[in-house]
Amino acid sequence: MTRSARFRELLKTPPFVCMGAHDAITAKLAEQAGASAIFVSGFAASAVLAGAPDVGLLTQTEMFEHIRRICRATTLPVFADADTGYGGVLESARTIQLWEEAGASVLHLEDQAAPKKCGHFTGKQLISPLEMQQKLRAMLDARRDPDFFIVARTDALAVTGLDDAIARLTAYAAVGADGLYMDAMESVEQMREVSDRLKPLGKPLLFNMARSGKSPFLSLQQAHELGFDFTLCPIESMFAMHKAVKTMMETFLAEGASTNAVKDMLTPFDEFNQFIGLPEVLALEKRYAIE
């Protein structure tokens, strides 16, 4: 079974979470920890690749290479952020083809205008529902693997309000989007209304669990009880890395640049090499060694 088919199988028995992985190492860690699927965030990609905020600075091909490296490191289905499709209908069509080539199984396309912003930032602007529908049509027609899953995302809630956001997702479902995603919902009551009004469309609903301050901090089961089939835990691994490395570096330098001061913060060398697959590589090398 392909990874895309496996992702669709997960949707038959919800709920499940797509665990954020910002590089190959965190993808391997997510799989080792027992995650069902992985999410590659544009917010995280912008941070780790460019050291920059999520304001649409990464190019389509930079994100493609980033996704491809992560897909190589895991056997799990990979859900990869596609931002606005990196342009108009032609660029959107190329985006889904590149994401498929990279090894991804799922993407979400958002209805922001350039320059796009993280869904939890202020100052977002929207394209028209019709333009978003055309981008989705272009993606659907360019899709080569029928199991590849396309999620339509709207950022309208913070810009034009709840009714418009629901109308937009309804329009996106009508052209064939596989799943629906309203970012930055602000209360349990709002989430319940979104679910009640969108569930009749028969499309899986996605909830973003990011601890951004906008949305309620809910568990997977709590989100499911409100009607959401799957969730993203998109940037927590990157924030954990930032805090841990920041603490290690500050301690190391404050304590006279001695590794003795940070030894309890470090994975042992042998354990890391085991995790990264050194024994398997050495065994393969030995298998083909010339005697």
Domain ranges of the chain: 3-235, 242-287
Banded pLDDT at 22 (limits 50, 70, 90): very high
**Alpha carbons within 13 A on the beta-carbon side of 23:** 8
Could you say which of 3.40.50.300, 3.20.20.60, 3.40.1390.10, 3.40.718.10 is the CATH number of the domain covering 3-235?
3.20.20.60
Instruction: Return the amino acid letter for 67.
Output: I
pLDDT, the chain, mean? 96
Beta-carbon contacts of residue 58 (< 8 Å; ≥ 6 apart): 42, 45, 46, 49, 50
Banded pLDDT at 213 (limits 50, 70, 90): confident
User: Is-cis flag, bond preceding 115, omega within 30?
Assistant: yes
Give the phi and the psi of residue 239 in degrees, each rounded to 5: -65, -35
Q: Are 129 and 171 in contact (CB under 8 A)?
A: yes
DSSP H stretches of helix in 19-128: 24-33, 42-50, 60-72, 89-102
Q: Average pLDDT for residues 23-38, to the nearest whole number?
A: 98
Banded pLDDT at 212 (limits 50, 70, 90): confident
Q: Is 189 exposed, middle or buried (0-12, 13-18, 19+ CB in 10 A)?
A: exposed
Give the phi and the psi of residue 110 in degrees, each rounded to 5: -110, 160
Neighbour tally for 112: CB within 10 Å: 24
Give the sign of the dihedral formed by CA 151, CA 3, CA 220, CA 56: negative
- Full-model pTM: 0.96
pLDDT(56) > 80: yes
Nearest of 159, 160, 172 to residue 205 by alpha carbon:
172
Q: Are 149 and 4 in contact (CB under 8 A)?
A: yes
pLDDT attached to residue 235: 96
Q: Are 111 and 153 in contact (CB under 8 A)?
A: yes
Beta strand segments in the chain, E: 16-20, 37-40, 78-81, 106-110, 149-154, 179-182, 205-208, 230-233
